[in-house]
């Protein structure tokens, strides 16, 4: 399929894992993409994996830095002439344990990256292109944002906020811009290693489909929500969890 021929996307946190998987899917369907992350070397390798600068560029920086956001959006439009799709994939989870035992500064940082950065990227894309030309925004939330998650309180609450931000922006930016989200369960990436390493089979037993997710599982859903195939869908969060919620798992 070539659903994204002539379209341009920006995917944050895309040097590896889910973000890179999303960028790969968009490029495979004809898009040109800008990928962002903190480490230039990893981004350079990812651009090569995506087929080089004809298909992808990279801009290194911190996702919650407003200057980086503006620069990445400007470089995307300079390189490819437009910005049709924004995928807010960057997320952090540096703390584990009860929220009242967690350093408040660490919780603020989680919200800065997982919530406020997504809003900042959306504003930059809106101001630079989407206000006049329309577009689609897809936020990467988490199944942890749909109900309390033991030990993952700060992360879970931030992802719940991202789900609500998705519906709020969908209302405010309609009809020209659609805003949706996906909420994955455990996906086999470096980010989620601590949740399954050394006990993958045991963890997968809780999933109706008897396996954990892989980045391509999320990429396919994001591509659908970013494409015209979902042109009558906005403000929704699609849970992608291999059926773990059917068994009461997180």
Q: Residue written as tokens 């101001």? A: 127
Q: Tell me: the pLDDT tens digits for 61-86?
A: 999 999 999 999 999 999 999 999 99
pLDDT given for residue 192 in this prediction = 77
Tokens found for residue 134: 């329309």
207 secondary structure, DSSP code? S
Q: Is the pTM of this model over 0.85?
A: yes
Rg of the Cα atoms in the chain: 17
pLDDT given for residue 249 in this prediction = 67
Quickly count: other Cβ atoms within 10 Å of residue 220's Cβ.
Answer: 14
From 126, 155, 196, 207, active-site residue:
155
Query: Is 155 an annotated catalytic residue?
Result: yes
Mean pLDDT of the chain: 96
pLDDT band at 196 (very low <50, low <70, confident <90, very high): confident
For 8-185+214-237, which CATH superfamily applies? Answer: NAD(P)-binding Rossmann-like Domain (3.40.50.720)
pLDDT given for residue 250 in this prediction = 62
Tokens found for residue 246: 């059917």
Alpha carbons 173 and 169: distance in angstroms, whole number: 6
State yes or no: pLDDT of 27 exceeds 90.
yes
Q: Point out the least confidently predicted range of 101-105, 157-161, 195-199.
A: 195-199
């Amino acid at each position: 399929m070539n659903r994204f021929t002539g379209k341009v996307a920006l995917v944050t946190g895309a040097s590896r894992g889910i973000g890179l998987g999303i960028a790969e899917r968009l490029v495979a369907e004809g898009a040109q993409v800008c990928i962002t992350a903190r480490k230039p070397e990893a981004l350079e390798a990812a651009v090569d994996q995506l087929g080089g600068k004809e298909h992808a560029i990279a801009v290194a920086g911190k996702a919650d830095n407003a200057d980086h956001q503006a620069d990445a959006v400007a470089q995307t439009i300079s390189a490819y002439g437009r910005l049709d799709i924004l995928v807010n994939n960057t997320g952090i989870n540096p703390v584990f344990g009860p929220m009242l035992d967690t350093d408040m500064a660490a919780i603020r940082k989680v919200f800065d990256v997982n919530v406020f950065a997504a809003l900042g990227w959306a504003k930059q894309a809106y101001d630079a292109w989407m206000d006049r030309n329309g577009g689609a925004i897809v936020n990467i939330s988490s199944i942890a944002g749909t109900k309390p998650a033991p030990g993952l309180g700060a992360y879970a609450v931030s992802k719940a906020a991202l789900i609500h931000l998705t519906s709020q922006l969908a209302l405010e930016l309609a009809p020209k811009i659609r805003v949706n989200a996906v909420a994955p369960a455990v996906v086999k990436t470096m980010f989620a290693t601590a949740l399954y390493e050394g006990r993958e089979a045991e963890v997968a037993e809780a999933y109706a489909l008897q396996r954990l997710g892989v980045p391509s599982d999320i990429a396919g859903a994001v591509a659908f929500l970013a494409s015209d195939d979902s042109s009558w869908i906005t403000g929704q969060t699609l849970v992608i969890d291999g059926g773990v919620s059917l068994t009461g798992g997180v």
